[in-house]
Structure 1
Amino acid sequence: MSEAAKIKRASYHLYTFTISKLISTFGSSVYAFGISLYVLALTGSAANFAVNLICSILPRSLLGPLAGYAADNYSKKKLIILSQLGGIAAVSGLLIYSLAFGLSLPAIYTATALVSVFSMFNGVTFSASIANLIDPDRIQKAMGFNQSAVSIAAIGGPVIGGMLFGFVSMNVFLLIEIGAYAIALVLEATMNFRLFTKAAPKTESGEKQSIIQGMKEGVAYMRTNRVIMVIVSTAIGLNFFFSAMMIGLPFIAVQQLKVEATHFGIIESMVAVGMLLASIYFSIRKEVKFPLLFSKRAILVMAVLLAALAFPLVLHMSYKVSVAYFIMLMLSFGLSNVCVNTPIGVMMQKDVDEEYRGRVFGILESMAMAMMPLGYLLFGLLYDLVPAQYVVWGSSICLVILTAYMMRASILKEAYPELGGNVPAKPVL
């Protein structure tokens, strides 16, 4: 295929991938919103809601490395299609069960776990495939489009779900999820996952290393690349301390400052709005020259924003000022979140060798997801035992220390020898 034909095909992938991600994520968002409210309405128990959340998180934590191994050793297109079919089958099974017997908690938990597994295989394989689908010069644009689609779905999904809940049965939510997955499947089946590959085709009959050996090889590869290890380690720490924000925001705003549910919903939605605005920005701007340095500064901004979460408690703001403050804070948090993730994501797409990309992303997904329930548990206990402002301030300081150490000048110099050890004083774009 000529270079011009490849670029044309990559343009098709860029928009097809974005539309597919938008539709599937939107369907998942509507489904997750409806299921969550249904579990709460059915049982009135936060514990049952938490079990459903664990059923979503735990499989991703345990099976991420396996998904990465599969992405590196088998046809990515087949994995994408099979994972979408698996998601359709899981939700369809729940729909059939609902029509026959009515929804029950065990059925919901089982479907949630299965959907999580298939979504994780799909997500890890797609993450390992972006550099194969899109030409190198437009990877940042692709990741910006991808994040825009996720943000739009995150904003629109709960809105549509809230409008539907109480007026239609849960079977309608299941049908929306099935329809979204089916459309995404059709779109993904038209994509060429070997367009820009440099690796030899995977053959089903060829001899493959064992799963354990393959995972060990992936870990060994990461350990030989200090910059990648820094990225993965920082991401794990960031996800852990991000839990302080996730638990702290509702605790401070709703529990301590008595912010109304409607206003709190607006506050939470500002994170997705900020992510959408930043994603659009990255999709149209030139590629970041020093992504690790750029992301380091964005993480430090997030640490400051985390500390600022406690200001309404200590400054005794009025109700309206507190709500407006939280809106701006969450908007800024969404903006900085994408400023961390997008440059690092582009860097990993380009710097991680193709034959290891799936395992690196799989391990990253697994470790990052594992930190979330641990963080939820720890910070949930801390907020009950320690004044909230001390929890967020302590978390902020720890995040600053972690970032300053993991992304110290020697690491930046190793990643970008042209800096010569002199880290620019002003932001590098």
Structure 2
Amino acid sequence: MDSELKLKKATYHLWTFTISKLIGSFGSQVYSFAISFYILQLTGSATNFAANLLCSILPRTLAGPFAGYVADNFPRKTIAITSQIAQTLAIGGLLTTSLTSGLSLPAIYIATCILSLTSTFSGVNFTSSITGLIDEARIQKAMSLNQMSISFAAIGSPVVGGLLYGTVSIPVFLILYMTASVIAVILESTMNFKLFANRKTNGEGKTKEPIWDSMKAGIAYLKLNPLITTIIWVALLVNFFFGAQQVGYSFVLIDKLKVESQHFGLTEGAFAVGMLVLSFYLSVRKEVKFPLLSSKRGIIALGLIMSGIALPLFIKMTYASIIVFYMILMFGFGALIIIVNTPIQVMLQKQIDDDYKGRVFSIIETMAQALSPLAMVIYGFLYDFIPAGWILIISASVLIGVVTILIRPSVVRKAHPEWREKEIVKGKIVTAKSE
């Protein structure tokens, strides 16, 4: 295909991919909003609500490695369309149930499990397909636009969901979600997943290796790439210590500072706005030159913000200043999440072999959330017995220490040989040689 035509097609992919993700994310989050309210109103039970969350998280965690195998061994366009059709059918099944016999908890739980599975296969597959859909020069823009679509959905879906929930029935929510899913199928069917792909067979015309052998090959590939292994360890430990923020933030604001629900929502909205603003910024600026260094600095800044959550527990502040303080804090938190994640994702897209992308990204995603349930349990216990402020400060300090050790200067120089760290040796500033 002519290079100019390929670039035009890539531009089409860039916006089609973004629109598809926006529609899908918006529909999914509005659905989640409605179903969550429905379960709580139907049963009044936090246990039933938590069970639906478990039906969303557990299948995603268990299916992650298999989704990577499928993405690396089968045509990625087929996987994308099949996953989206399965999602549409699952919503249609739940809609049929609601119209014929009424919604029940088992039906909701089954649908949630199926939707979680389809989104896992679709998500890993699309992450693995970026370099096949988009030219290398615009990978950062593609990742940023993808994050912008998620941020738009995070900001708008609670508003739309809240307005609709009081005026329309659950079947209407399901029809809207199913319509969004059908549009996504149509858009994805027009995309050429092989446009820039560098796969040996594009998942076709070869004998598929056994699934366990394929997974072992993926792990062996990781062992040959110590930088990716380091990123996995960082993701694992950082997400564990962020459990202090995930549990503690709501606990501090609602239980300790008695922040009202609508004001708490403002601080949560500031988080999504921060993500949106930085995603837009990265979509129009040049590619970050030293992604690993950028992520290291971003995580350290996140640690400082996490410790800052404790500040109103030690310093007396007015109610209005507390709300403004946390809105600024969460805006910064959302912005830094993008600074940490997007450059690293771009670097991984360029460095990982196309034939291993599915397995490697699935391992990274699985490991990133592997310790999160344990962190929730541990920190939930700690906040009942230890002052919240000290938990946040100590966890943030340990987080900063761990990242400083794992992403030490020698690791940064190996990842970015062109980077030179200035060191003071015997009272003189010299340029360190790359290792």
Corresponding residue for residue 259 of structure 2: 259
Corresponding residue for residue 102 of structure 1: 102
Alignment of 1:295-334 (within 5 A): 295-334=295-334
What amino acid is aligned across from residue 7 of structure 2 in structure 1?
A: I
Alignment of 1:41-52 (within 5 A): 41-52=41-52
Is the Cα contact below 8 Å between 1:410 and 1:421 reproduced in 2?
no
Corresponding residue for residue 39 of structure 1: 39
Is the Cα contact below 8 Å between 1:60 and 1:369 reproduced in 2?
no
Partner of 2:69, secondary structure, is helix
Matched, 1:380 2:374: no
Alignment of 1:405-420 (within 5 A): 405-420=405-420
- State the Cα deviation string for residues 239-287 of structure 1 (Å, max 9, x = none): 2222221211111001111100110111111111000000000000000
Corresponding residue for residue 80 of structure 1: 80
Instruction: Tell me which moved more, 301-310 or 103-112.
Output: 103-112
Instruction: Tell me which moved more, 358-367 or 117-126.
Output: 358-367
Corresponding residue for residue 69 of structure 1: 69
Counterpart-to-counterpart distance in 1, 2:277 and 2:420 = 34
Measured after TM superposition, the shift of residue 375 of structure 1 is 1.8
Is the Cα contact below 8 Å between 1:227 and 1:415 reproduced in 2?
yes
Instruction: Tell me which moved more, 99-108 or 9-18.
Output: 99-108
Partner of 1:218, secondary structure, is helix
Is the Cα contact below 8 Å between 1:90 and 1:111 reproduced in 2?
yes
- State the Cα deviation string for residues 295-345 of structure 1 (Å, max 9, x = none): 100010000000001101111211111111111110000000000010000
Counterpart-to-counterpart distance in 2, 1:377 and 1:100 = 40
Counterpart-to-counterpart distance in 2, 1:219 and 1:385 = 40
* TM-score of the pair, normalised by structure 1: 0.97
- State the Cα deviation string for residues 17-69 of structure 1 (Å, max 9, x = none): 00000000000010011111111111112121111111111111111010011
Structure 2: stretches of 5+ with no match in the other structure: 424-429
Alignment of 1:259-278 (within 5 A): 259-278=259-278
Corresponding residue for residue 393 of structure 2: 393
Measured after TM superposition, the shift of residue 372 of structure 1 is 2.4
Counterpart-to-counterpart distance in 2, 1:40 and 1:326 = 28
* TM-score of the pair, normalised by structure 2: 0.95
Structure 1: stretches of 5+ with no match in the other structure: none
Measured after TM superposition, the shift of residue 420 of structure 1 is 4.4
Is the Cα contact below 8 Å between 1:65 and 1:363 reproduced in 2?
yes
What amino acid is aligned across from residue 324 of structure 1 in structure 2?
A: V
Counterpart-to-counterpart distance in 2, 1:67 and 1:165 = 34
Counterpart-to-counterpart distance in 2, 1:272 and 1:294 = 21
What amino acid is aligned across from residue 103 of structure 1 in structure 2?
A: L
Corresponding residue for residue 403 of structure 1: 403
Partner of 2:242, secondary structure, is helix
What amino acid is aligned across from residue 409 of structure 1 in structure 2?
A: P
Matched, 1:11 2:14: no
Instruction: Tell me which moved more, 94-103 or 328-337.
Output: 94-103
Is the Cα contact below 8 Å between 2:84 and 2:118 reproduced in 1?
yes
Counterpart-to-counterpart distance in 1, 2:422 and 2:39 = 55
Counterpart-to-counterpart distance in 1, 2:112 and 2:22 = 20
Corresponding residue for residue 220 of structure 1: 220
Counterpart-to-counterpart distance in 1, 2:138 and 2:95 = 40
Counterpart-to-counterpart distance in 2, 1:315 and 1:142 = 43
Counterpart-to-counterpart distance in 2, 1:29 and 1:205 = 38
- State the Cα deviation string for residues 366-397 of structure 1 (Å, max 9, x = none): 22233322222221111112111111112101
Is the Cα contact below 8 Å between 1:34 and 1:161 reproduced in 2?
yes
Is the Cα contact below 8 Å between 1:21 and 1:149 reproduced in 2?
yes
Alignment of 1:355-366 (within 5 A): 355-366=355-366
Matched, 1:248 2:265: no
Instruction: Tell me which moved more, 73-82 or 381-390.
Output: 381-390
Counterpart-to-counterpart distance in 2, 1:153 and 1:371 = 27
Is the Cα contact below 8 Å between 1:57 and 1:369 reproduced in 2?
no
Instruction: Tell me which moved more, 378-387 or 20-29.
Output: 378-387
Counterpart-to-counterpart distance in 2, 1:401 and 1:52 = 36
Is the Cα contact below 8 Å between 2:68 and 2:361 reproduced in 1?
yes
CA-atom RMSD in angstroms: 1.4
Corresponding residue for residue 427 of structure 2: none
Counterpart-to-counterpart distance in 2, 1:122 and 1:72 = 13
What amino acid is aligned across from residue 391 of structure 2 in structure 1?
A: V
Measured after TM superposition, the shift of residue 204 of structure 1 is 5.1
Corresponding residue for residue 367 of structure 1: 367
Corresponding residue for residue 53 of structure 2: 53
Counterpart-to-counterpart distance in 1, 2:241 and 2:182 = 36
Alignment of 1:271-286 (within 5 A): 271-286=271-286
Corresponding residue for residue 426 of structure 2: none
Give the percent of matched residue pairs that are identical in Structure 1 and Structure 2.
49
Is the Cα contact below 8 Å between 2:72 and 2:203 reproduced in 1?
no
Corresponding residue for residue 336 of structure 2: 336
What amino acid is aligned across from residue 274 of structure 1 in structure 2?
A: G
Measured after TM superposition, the shift of residue 205 of structure 1 is 5.4
Corresponding residue for residue 119 of structure 1: 119
What amino acid is aligned across from residue 241 of structure 1 in structure 2?
A: F
Counterpart-to-counterpart distance in 2, 1:220 and 1:50 = 37
Measured after TM superposition, the shift of residue 176 of structure 1 is 1.6
